[in-house]
Amino acid sequence: MNYISVTELGKRHGCSGIAMNRILARYGLQYKQNGAWILTKEGAKYSKVKTPEFPDSIILWNENTLYDAHMRKPMMASIIGITI
């Protein structure tokens, strides 16, 4: 399984890393707390943490994250306007 940065995941879906973070949050895979992105239980299924020292952790995402999450919430992609 290949893991990539949120920036790379965004590029593959035609948006910025900032926009991709928001999309991942809308899918319920992460949320923002005190300026840092925190994985949800569901998000942990699609990611791994590169550096475990909070708050400097870097979340890497399975390159199929949006496709897999989309299968669970199929209307989301059309609502947020991305191509899966």
Mean pLDDT score, 28-33 = 93
Distance CA 11, CA 39 (A): 21
- Higher-pLDDT residue of 72, 50: 50
3-state secondary structure of 40: coil
The model's confidence at residue 53, banded by pLDDT at 50, 70 and 90, is low
3-state secondary structure of 36: strand
Q: Which pLDDT value is given to residue 78?
A: 52
Mean pLDDT score, 47-61 = 79
